[in-house]
Amino acid sequence: MKIEKNIPITTYPHGKYASLARAMEAGDSVLCQTMKEVISVRAAIYRTGHKAVTRKQPEGTWRLWKVKKEDKGND
């Protein structure tokens, strides 16, 4: 192995929904079809340093909002 200096650390997606979570701004929301999607998107949002607020919709889907950590709201 060769030691190399000054090589920048690359960023890469941490899952299927990482780019979606990074593209969202605080206050943006997405509609999820399944609880599995909710869990995955919520985790991706948390990794961006934000919080996710989730509400079940009347038709059985889920809506997830990306909010600032200091914003009040139920998870």
Tokens in use for 69? 């950590």
- pTM exceeding the 0.85 threshold for the entire prediction: no
3-state helix, strand, coil in the chain (%, to 5): 25, 20, 55
Tokens in use for 3? 């030691």
pLDDT of 70 reads: 81
Return the domain boundaries, the chain: 18-67
pLDDT by residue (tens digit) across 29-71? 999 999 999 999 999 999 999 999 999 999 999 999 999 988 7
Residues 63, 36, 16: CA angle, nearest 5 degrees: 90
Q: How far is CA 66 from CA 1, 2, 75, in A?
A: 43, 43, 11
